[in-house]
Structure 1
Amino acid sequence: MGRSQLEKQKTHERIVTLAAKRLREEGLEGIGVADLMKEAGLTVGGFYKHFASRDELVAEAMESAIGSWRRQQEEQGIDPASISLNDYIDNYLSERHRDHCGEGCAYAALTADMARSSDAVRAVATDGLRRNFEAMTARMPQPETVEARRKAIIASCLMTGALGLARVANDEALSAEILETVKQFVKALPQAK
């Protein structure tokens, strides 16, 4: 790959990473191309050297956001599959995750936005859901069973909803209570009959 192509690829990745963060912070309609490009230190005209449309950028940014946790773990030399269910729950339902929306779970930040978005974004989100459910199922006792998958889906939905509601609450005590209550419930779920 030539130097100019490498630079273009790095710039493209920088735009996508920045968009993934901003979309989680402000919603799918919360940022415009002009603001995003300005923040990236680029011109609006440069946008079209990288993307055919805003929708294309949003789909790429959502894919990046959905895969960001896995990449972060791998960059730290951690195999995401080696993280225990309890450690995953503790990390996901933490005040740090709640307070850093732009770096966290795209589903907790953007569920309603994704549901109203383009087919391309919904396809990316659906693929991400499948991968997330598979990863959560693998963390369950007896992961090869139908019951493990059922509990993985329930746990994932509870955790995503709890994180979103904890972010909604402007009462710190209530927010913390939501996180802790769901954390304890989800940790007990694998043993529930």
Structure 2
Amino acid sequence: MGHSQADKARSRERILNEAAMQIRDKGLDALSIGGLMQQVKLTHGGFYGHFASRSDLIAAALEQALTAGEASAHAARDPDKPVSINALVRSYLSRTHRDQPKSGCAIGALISDVGRADEQCRAVMEPHIESFIAKVAETFGDDDDSSAIVAVSAMVGALAISRVITDPKRSDAILRTVRERIIAMASDE
């Protein structure tokens, strides 16, 4: 790879990292190409040397955000211990996760935006949701994934709702209640 190709690859990576952080923080619609390119200290016109369209950027940034969130969750766990449903739910439905949408699960941060987005974005998120369900099903020991579907839906929904509620005690109660119900559901399995 020549010097200019290496520079282009590094610039694309900077654009994607910044765009991924911005969409997790503010949502898909808030992403401005001009503002993004200014943030990474590149020209607005240079954008089209990296992406064919804003839609292509958003799909790539969404993939970056989803992958980064999964890597962060994986890095936070003890590799010598199997993932328990208790640990997974306590981490996902925590104040820390609620209060840090920029660095948390991109599914939880962007589910509503992606639900209204084009098919390209939905196709990017779909396998990550399926992977999350599969991981939860594995921790449940589910032969089918019905309990995992309920648990993932409840976790993502509770996280999103807790971010909307302005009363900290009520927001905490939502996280705690859903956390306790999923853990109880897992012990009944």
- Partners of 1:25 and 1:102 within 8 A in 2: yes
- Partners of 2:21 and 2:65 within 8 A in 1: yes
Aligned position for 1:34:
34
Q: Give unmatched runs, 5+ long, in structure 1.
A: none
Aligned length: 189
Residues 95-149 of structure 1 deviation map (CA, whole Å, 9 limit, x = unaligned) = 1111111111222222221111111101111121111111111111x34x01xx1
Q: 1:55 Cα deviation (Å)?
A: 0.3
TM-score (norm 1): 0.90
Deviates more, 1:109-118 or 1:162-171: 109-118
Inter-partner Cα distance in structure 2 for 1:88 and 1:42: 39
Aligned position for 1:6:
6
TM-score (norm 2): 0.91
Please give the secondary structure, in 1, of the residue aligned with 2:58. Answer: helix
- Partners of 1:169 and 1:175 within 8 A in 2: yes
Inter-partner Cα distance in structure 1 for 2:9 and 2:65: 18
Q: After superposition, where does 1:169-180 map in structure 2 within 5 Å?
A: 169-180=165-176
Residues 67-114 of structure 1 deviation map (CA, whole Å, 9 limit, x = unaligned) = 223222556796599432211111111111111111112222222211
Please give the secondary structure, in 2, of the residue aligned with 1:48. Answer: helix
Deviates more, 1:175-184 or 1:106-115: 106-115
Which of 171, 181, 184 does residue 185 from structure 1 map onto? 181
Inter-partner Cα distance in structure 1 for 2:81 and 2:38: 38
Aligned position for 1:44:
44
Structure-2 change in CA distance of 1:92 and 1:77 (3 Å): closer
- How large is the Cα RMSD of the aligned pairs? 2.0
Inter-partner Cα distance in structure 1 for 2:61 and 2:182: 29
Aligned position for 1:134:
134
Inter-partner Cα distance in structure 2 for 1:151 and 1:180: 19
- Partners of 1:81 and 1:135 within 8 A in 2: no
Aligned position for 2:162:
166
Aligned position for 2:119:
119
Inter-partner Cα distance in structure 1 for 2:63 and 2:54: 14
Inter-partner Cα distance in structure 2 for 1:31 and 1:126: 21
Structure-2 change in CA distance of 1:80 and 1:67 (3 Å): farther
Aligned position for 1:72:
72
Q: 1:48 Cα deviation (Å)?
A: 0.8
Aligned position for 1:20:
20
- Partners of 1:73 and 1:79 within 8 A in 2: no
Give identity over the alignment, percent. Answer: 34
- Partners of 2:19 and 2:36 within 8 A in 1: yes
Please give the secondary structure, in 1, of the residue aligned with 2:31. Answer: coil
Please give the secondary structure, in 1, of the residue aligned with 2:52. Answer: coil
Structure-2 change in CA distance of 1:93 and 1:15 (3 Å): same
